[in-house]
Amino acid sequence: MSKVATVAFKECREDVFAVRGMGLYLTASLVLSAFGLLLVGNTELSLLDNAQAVYMMAGIILALAALIAVVRGSDGFAGERDRETLEALLISPASGEDLALGKLTALMVSWLLLYLLAVPYLWAVGSAGQNLSAALLYLFLAGTILMTIFGALVLSLSARVKSFKSAMSAGLILFLFAAAPVALGPSLRQSFIGRVLDWLNPFAVAMNMLDAVIIDSQTGPGRQLLPLMILAGYVAVAVWILWLSSRRIEL
Amino acid sequence: MRRMLTGLLFICCCTVFSAATPAQVEAAANQPVNISVFLQAPDPPLQMGDLPVFKGEVTNHGSSVLKSLVVYLSLVSLQPGQEHPVDLEDWSAQKAIRIDQLAPGQTIFQEWKMRLIKSGSFGAALTIVNPASDQPQISPLALFDINPKPTVLAGRILPVAVGIPLLLAGLFFLIWRSRR
């Protein structure tokens, strides 16, 4: 087994499949259940088009994914430092890059589990409407990309700061910066400045792409090439920052 | 019959609320009606979730060019017991357009897309405001019915919304017990 796979396996065993990890998935499922029950119980929401409901649920899933990336990513190096287990990791044969890549891989496993958990909810909400399969495909792409971006950036912060609290605070600020403009709604983002801010924010790019696919049915091949390329650019930058940060990890 | 009466009431309200002073009303009353406006509802059947096109038609019957006309769409619910104006923002409709100029005898066609988000009986009308006149023109009410469509199915959501947290809680408990 390669060093990266060994680190990823250790992370999954300690976090993803542990009681702590299960608690996170239970919370995520409760959030999705609450939204589903709101859709059924609220007369205004129950009038929503299926595609609109799927889009809203996809937004919640992406926000949960980004939040998981922030929580797990903050714990990546800073949590090990707090628990005084980082030294043991650093004297292992795995290099800093191996450790970072292994931890990022474990984050991807977390995303995969969250996605599998979300599929029945999306089916329940959107199976009577249009674009459900496209929604599932693009949600998987968008979630994988966002998890990589947020995970890599917060892991690199975690490698640099001294405590889990500091890494978590910085990660949450990053998350708020990314999520806040999206909460403003599309009408306020129609201006030139709003559009520029949207392109600068990977979360907004992902949400706009899902909007185009799920609601506007722009599912044809190549229709979402531009947002995907922009998101790929953000992935490259985030992974590069993580690589730089993990080259020299200090206790 | 009740729907027609409500529609008539809606048109009367639109006319009354075009706030004009008595002098202006007198002046407008002397002006010949030289614009006609017509709105065509999409062909039935219409269902919730559809995005049909409403076709509007504005014609200048006068002898002078009309400038800077504003044409806007209004929607009213005619469901018995629930008659009320509908906020078009929820229906994602393009509400108003501006016609820079309309030559004598010229007809302009315009389309309004509307996302049908609620079932029931509705009426839509176009209103034209001419800055040179204080008398808005209103089209006849275009009546249409929207059939309900089951959008969110409780029978599908409830088992998932209740079952998955219970399943995870059970798994959570098993893992917790096995580690003790």
- List the beta bridge partners of residue B70: B98, B129
Looking at residue A221, its pLDDT comes to: 73
Distance CA A83, CA A92 (A): 17
The residue that leads in pLDDT, B8 or A3, is A3
Distance CA B155, CA B169 (A): 22
| Interior/surface letters A192-222, b for 16+ CB within 10 angstroms, e for the rest | eeeeeebeebbbbbbbbbbbbbbbeeebeee
pLDDT at A112 over 90: yes
Looking at residue B179, its pLDDT comes to: 74
Residues of A with CB under 8 A from a CB of B: 17-19, 22-23, 25-26, 29-30, 32-34, 36-37, 39-40, 45-50, 53, 117, 120-121, 123-125, 127-129
Looking at residue B2, its pLDDT comes to: 52
Check the CA dihedral A214-A220-A224-A228 and report its sign. Answer: positive
Q: Which residues of A touch B115 (CB under 8 A)?
A: 49
Task: Name the residue facing B151 among A36, A50, A123 (closest C-beta).
Answer: A50
Looking at residue B16, its pLDDT comes to: 41
Task: Name the residue facing B156 among A26, A30, A124 (closest C-beta).
Answer: A124
Query: Of all helices (H) and strands (E), which one includes residue A73?
Result: helix A50-74
Percentage with pLDDT > 90 across chain A: 44
Percentage with pLDDT > 70 across chain A: 92
Question: What are the distances in angstroms from CA A236 to CA A69, A146, A152, A182, A242?
Answer: 17, 12, 10, 23, 10
Note whether ipTM > 0.85 here.
Answer: no
* Closest-CA residue to A33 (of B22, B141, B158): B158
Q: What mean pLDDT is predicted for residues A140-164?
A: 93
The domain ranges of chain B are 2-149, 151-180
Question: What are the distances in angstroms from CA A206 to CA A140, A182, A189, A214, A229?
Answer: 11, 10, 15, 12, 11
Q: How close does chain B come to A136, measured CA to CA in Å?
A: 17
State in words which class domain B2-149 has: mainly beta
Closest chain A residue to B50, measured at CA: A49
Contact criterion met (CB < 8 Å) for B168 and A29: yes
Closest chain B residue to A30, measured at CA: B165
Q: What is the largest CA-CA distance in chain B?
A: 93
The domain ranges of chain A are 3-246
Q: Which residues of B touch A37 (CB under 8 A)?
A: 157-158, 161
Q: How close does chain A come to B166, measured CA to CA in Å?
A: 9
Closest chain B residue to A120, measured at CA: B160
- The contacts of residue B178 (CB under 8 Å, 6+ apart) are none
Residues of B with CB under 8 A from a CB of A: 48-49, 115, 117-118, 150-154, 156-162, 164-165, 168-169, 171-172, 175-176, 179
pLDDT digits (tens, 9 = 90+) for A91-102: 888 888 999 999
Looking at residue B26, its pLDDT comes to: 41
Identity of the highest mean pLDDT range in A15-24, A183-192, A238-247: A238-247
Query: Of all helices (H) and strands (E), which one includes residue A117?
Result: helix A96-126
Q: Which residues of B touch A18 (CB under 8 A)?
A: 175
- Per-residue pLDDT of chain B in tens (180 residues, 90 and over written 9): 455 555 544 544 444 444 444 444 343 444 555 889 999 999 989 988 788 999 999 999 988 899 999 999 999 999 888 888 888 876 766 778 899 999 999 999 988 888 887 888 999 999 999 888 888 999 999 999 998 876 777 788 889 999 999 998 888 888 778 877
Contact criterion met (CB < 8 Å) for B160 and A120: yes
Q: Which residues of B touch A22 (CB under 8 A)?
A: 168, 171-172, 175
To the nearest 10°, the Cα dihedral for A112, A114, A117, A120?
A: -90
Q: How close does chain A come to B130, measured CA to CA in Å?
A: 28
pLDDT at A131 over 70: yes
